[in-house]
């Protein structure tokens, strides 16, 4: 199986695709491979101590544990001790990781938030079973297959609503339109989601938010820009790329998104112990926006792959960066399949912006610092209280409005 490269901050939205050395824009320096017969001496004393600990746990621990429980725990501890991002993935976790970064899963097709009173529907995927059933935004799900949804965790709710394609799930729903309770049975199917949401703002300024970097993010963003230009009936006068609260995702996804807006030059470089961890990724010719002004929004929730994009566009002076300091994670994890369908997520390299800066622990500094000012919500005038949730009410997001005003000033100046 292939080695798989990720940039992320302890999230479960990623897809293993080509390893670091397989990206078409990668330029790996030549390095000598170690001799094939090189064998590192095993630390026998330490291994004996590990076996002793295993034996004592098996014999004396207050709760009886299986061999698998003890050994899985030992592996998890070994990896966790390396850094906060290296970890062990059992077969189920590995499968979930693979599934989620494609944007494809078997379910009903909603985005939701868990509230004390139940699960609130925040968005519905087009052509999904949820949409066909009549489920609507702001509906509250109070039961899933007879289980109360009040106080239910995100993970539990997701597991109950997902399932094999063709299987059914029964929901009890309080409809937002009339506050009446309705029971609906929905047949699950494969859902094709996108990590990109977009909107045409005023005076030809386009806006798109990427919530995670998936295998199709660059393609979806390219389609979004084409749709915005079609709706505007002309080239956009500027563009806002919102990476707030985007924890990362696929390294290739970040490189491909950056490449959309750059006409050449280094996007990001990585440095590690092994040859495949030492690479430089360069942009291909062509800027999808044809050099129109651009702004990128970041905050403390923008991490890893998001910081690669923001750093590349900042260092190349392609976009103005607006918001607050990003998270500061410059480590690349590689997913390495191991025995039994399991995998390890191992930090294998560090990445650097085009100017050679590592943002590990420091983050990307905005060109214009603007703190997010959430507006209070009310039933009469519902508004967004989280950065990035701006569709249909972007004027209530002060960071988006700062970016919009900056682009309008730049666009007007350019057109004089």
Query: How far from 165 is each of 91, 97, 104, 249, 326, CA to CA, in Å?
Result: 20, 19, 12, 26, 39
CA distance 160 to 219: 31
CA distance 416 to 413: 5
Task: Work out the widest C-alpha separation in the chain, in whole angstroms.
Answer: 81
- 349 forms beta bridges with 272, 332
Question: Do 327 and 343 meet the contact criterion of CB atoms below 8 Å apart?
Answer: no
Query: How far from 147 is each of 144, 157, 160, CA to CA, in Å?
Result: 5, 10, 9
The secondary element (H helix, E strand) that includes residue 44 is: helix 44-60
Question: Do 111 and 135 meet the contact criterion of CB atoms below 8 Å apart?
Answer: no
- Residues annotated as catalytic are 304, 315, 329
- How many other C-beta atoms can be found within 10 angstroms of the C-beta atom of residue 342? 17
């Amino acid at each position: 199986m292939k080695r798989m490269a990720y940039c992320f901050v302890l999230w479960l939205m990623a897809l293993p695709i080509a390893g670091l050395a397989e990206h078409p824009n990668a330029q790996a320096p030549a390095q000598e491979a170690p001799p094939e017969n090189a064998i590192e001496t095993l630390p026998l004393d330490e291994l004996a101590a590990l076996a002793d600990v295993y034996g004592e746990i098996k014999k004396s621990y207050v709760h009886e544990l299986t061999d698998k429980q003890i050994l899985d725990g030992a592996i998890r501890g070994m990896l966790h001790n390396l850094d906060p991002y290296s970890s062990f993935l059992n077969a189920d976790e590995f499968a979930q990781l693979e599934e989620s970064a494609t944007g494809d899963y078997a379910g009903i097709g909603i985005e939701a938030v868990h509230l004390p009173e139940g699960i609130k529907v925040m968005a519905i995927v087009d052509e999904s079973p949820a949409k066909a059933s009549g489920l609507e935004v702001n509906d509250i799900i109070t039961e899933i297959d007879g289980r109360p949804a009040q106080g239910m965790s995100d993970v539990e709710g997701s597991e109950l609503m997902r399932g094999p394609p063709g299987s059914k799930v029964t929901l009890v729903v309080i409809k937002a339109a009339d506050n009446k309770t309705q029971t609906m049975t929905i047949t699950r199917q494969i859902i094709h989601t996108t990590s990109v949401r977009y909107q045409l703002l005023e005076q030809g300024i386009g806006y798109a938010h990427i919530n995670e970097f998936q295998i199709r993010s660059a393609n979806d963003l390219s389609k979004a820009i084409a749709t915005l230009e079609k709706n505007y009936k002309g080239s956009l006068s500027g563009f806002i790329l919102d990476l707030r609260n985007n924890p990362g995702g696929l390294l290739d996804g970040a490189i491909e998104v950056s490449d959309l807006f750059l006409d050449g030059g280094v996007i990001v470089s990585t440095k590690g112990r092994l040859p495949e961890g030492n690479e430089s990724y360069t942009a291909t010719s062509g800027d999808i926006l044809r050099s129109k002004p651009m702004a990128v929004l970041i905050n403390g929730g923008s991490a890893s792959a998001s910081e690669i994009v923001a750093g590349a566009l900042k260092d190349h002076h392609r976009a103005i960066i607006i918001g607050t300091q990003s998270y500061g994670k410059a480590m690349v994890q590689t997913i390495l399949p191991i025995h039994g369908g399991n995998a390890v997520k191992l930090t294998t390299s560090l990445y650097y912006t085009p100017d050679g800066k590592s943002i590990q622990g420091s983050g990307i500094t905005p060109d214009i610092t603007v703190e997010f000012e959430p507006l209070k919500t009310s039933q009469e005038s519902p508004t967004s209280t989280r950065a990035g949730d701006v569709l249909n009410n972007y004027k209530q997001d002060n960071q988006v409005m700062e970016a919009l005003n900056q682009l309008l000033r730049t666009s007007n100046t350019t057109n004089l």
